Structure 1
């Protein structure tokens, strides 16, 4: 299983430019890149959909389970996994630390966005 390097996690944690592109229904074509807030907790990257589970990118990410992200000058093939449970509190803390002062912070740590959290991990593309 692929993992983020420490350097990649550092760059991502400092960046504010993550674009997600889950696969379309064909499982080959990437969807339109969507800018989202992301945070790093432990060895993983997490993102939330501001509009909750109704967000198109979130629905595609959960349905397809894979795609690509562009962040901090990197383009990576990734997997998307829905997240729930105690890790959510750590993700909230990371959002508070990274985006403090933003008028969008409260909705991003609220129930609607929390319900639409995905874990983003690099995907091994070697056969």
Structure 2
């Protein structure tokens, strides 16, 4: 495994949206899904609004590998289950980063259902 560069962390962490694709068994990638991403220190996290039933999340669970792109930065990644000890920090990051959106919208990524589908993005 490799690490994020400072530029990748800044660009992806600051990006309004991220395009995420899971890798299929044959090596091909799923269609991109647009989601929100947050940064906590040197880690990047994503959540499925629909929780574990979310289509992109289920795809990520099949092989735990995929590809992300945000603001011109693309990277192959592994999807790791996030430690739920960071849930409150991730909630705070979502609320702060997306504070320009209504509470109804931001609230969808801080529900128990969404927290259950939190993944850490680990670069290849």
Q: Residue 116 of structure 1 corresponds to which residue in structure 2?
A: 117
Alignment of 1:62-73 (within 5 A): 62-73=61-72
State whether residues 11 and 73 of structure 2, in contact with CA within 8 Å, keep that contact through their aligned partners in structure 1: no
Provide the rounded CA distance (Å) in 2 between the counterparts of 1:41 and 1:121.
Answer: 13
TM-score between the two structures when normalised by the length of structure 2: 0.92
Alignment of 1:36-75 (within 5 A): 36-75=35-74
Residue 105 (str. 1) matches residue 106 (str. 2): yes
Provide the rounded CA distance (Å) in 2 between the counterparts of 1:45 and 1:27.
Answer: 26
4+ aligned runs moved over 3 Å, structure 1: none
SS at match of 1:50: coil
State whether residues 62 and 81 of structure 1, in contact with CA within 8 Å, keep that contact through their aligned partners in structure 2: no
Query: Cα distance, 1:60 vs. partner?
Result: 1.1
SS at match of 1:47: strand
SS at match of 1:86: helix
Deviations 1:39-77 (A, max 9, x none): 011211100011111011101112211010011201111
TM-score between the two structures when normalised by the length of structure 1: 0.90
Alignment of 1:11-30 (within 5 A): 11-24=11-24, 26-30=25-29
Query: Cα distance, 1:84 vs. partner?
Result: 3.5
